[in-house]
Every structure is written in C-alpha cells, then in structure tokens.
C-alpha cells in the first residue's frame, strides 16, 4: 500500500495521517533546527510547537502542504525566540546598569545625615575659617586668589584653612 497516495487523499486532521506526517518529518525538522541554531533542547521544543500549530491549522491545509508549513513555522518560531532572547538580554543589561548606579536606601539615608552634620560643622566654624574653607573647597579658589580677595597673606589663608580642616576632622571622627 502506498502511504503517500493515502496521505494526499486523506484529511490532515485524522490521527493516522497526522501521525504519519509527524513520524516522517519530526526528526528532519529537529535536526535542521539543531544544525541551524546549535541548541538541542530548543530545537526539540520548537519542532514540537510547530506540530502543535500544524494540528491547530489542520483543517486549513492539505497533507501535501504539511512539510513546507512545518519548516516555515519552525523557522519563524526559532527566530521569534532569538528575538525574544535579545530583548531579555538587553533588559538584563539595562537593569544591571541601573542596579550598579543606584545605592541602597540605607546608604542614601546615611549620606543625607552625613551631609547635614558636615554642613552643621562648617557653619559652626569661626567666621574667618569658614570663609576661607568655603572659598577654597566650594568656589575652587586657590590660596593666592583668596588672599588677594580678602587682603591677607597667603600664609594667613593657609593657617585659617589648616585650623578649619583640623576642626572638621575632629567633628567627623566623632560621627
């Protein structure tokens, strides 16, 4: 009995015809996908999914169209999975970058409290030391520039800055 003749005259939705198509094409499709994408597990999954889609569309297809339909479906499913993997990979890269740049809430709270204490310590410095410290550290002025703008010697500015830093170090050690 010629099975190809029986297949072409039968309905694709019958169990016998579908089983015959499965047995003659499953290994071909699976091996093709393994060769093309180098992933055995994925190739088996995609081949099985292609047969599921064939079964869902069996009333719209003739048995002789099955092989072409299966290969086309399998390739499209594989490409969709590859595209999905790229999206997932890009998302992971993006989310990992965000995680690297973000600090924990505890760290942010400690940082905020430390800033407040530092500001308080700077504000408690004697006026002359505070002015020199702020001009140097926040306005980025050199000791010479500060000396010129305040009408003092560079040595006087160095002494005020030294005293301000000593005071701030003491305060920060106690924190």
pLDDT digits (tens, 9 = 90+) for 39-88: 889 889 999 999 999 999 888 888 888 899 999 999 899 888 888 888 88
pLDDT at residue 152 tops 60: yes
The answer to pTM > 0.75 is no
What is the C-alpha to C-alpha distance for residues 122 and 135, in angstroms, rounded to an integer?
12
Q: Where are the alpha helices (DSSP H) in the chain?
A: 3-9, 15-37, 40-56, 66-101, 105-123, 127-137, 143-150, 154-173
Tokens encoding 3? 């099975």
Q: Which CATH architecture has domain 125-174?
A: Orthogonal Bundle (1.10)
Say what angle helices 143-150 and 127-137 make with each other, to 10 degrees: 130
- Average pLDDT for 122-126: 89
Of 9-18, 41-50, 122-131, give the lowest mean pLDDT range.
9-18
* pLDDT score of 14: 86
Residue 10: the pLDDT is 65
Q: How far apart are CA 171 and CA 129, in angstroms?
A: 15
Question: Of 82, 87, 83, which Cα lies nearest the Cα of 38?
Answer: 82
- Label residue 164 by pLDDT band (50, 70, 90): very high
Question: Taking a C-beta distance cutoff of 8 angstroms, is the pair 6, 63 a contact?
Answer: no
Segments making up each domain of the chain, as ranges: 11-93, 125-174
pLDDT of residue 163: 94
CATH of domain 11-93: 1.10.1740
Is pLDDT of 3 > 60?
no
């Amino acid at each position: 009995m010629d099975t190809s003749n029986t297949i072409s005259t039968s309905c694709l939705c019958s169990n016998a015809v579908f089983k015959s198509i499965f047995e003659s094409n499953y290994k071909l499709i699976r091996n093709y996908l393994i060769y093309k994408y180098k992933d055995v597990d994925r190739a088996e999954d995609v081949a099985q999914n292609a047969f599921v889609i064939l079964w869902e569309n069996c009333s719209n297809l003739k048995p002789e169209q099955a092989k072409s339909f299966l290969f086309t479906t399998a390739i499209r499913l594989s490409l969709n999975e590859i595209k999905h993997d790229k999206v997932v990979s890009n998302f992971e890269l993006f989310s990992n970058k965000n995680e690297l740049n973000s600090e924990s809430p505890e760290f942010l709270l400690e940082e905020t409290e430390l800033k407040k204490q530092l500001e308080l310590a700077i504000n408690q410095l004697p006026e002359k030391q505070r002015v020199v410290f702020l001009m140097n550290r926040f306005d980025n002025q050199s000791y010479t520039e500060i000396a010129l703008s305040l009408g003092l010697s560079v040595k006087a500015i160095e002494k005020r800055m030294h005293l301000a830093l000593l005071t701030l170090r003491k305060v920060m050690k106690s924190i």
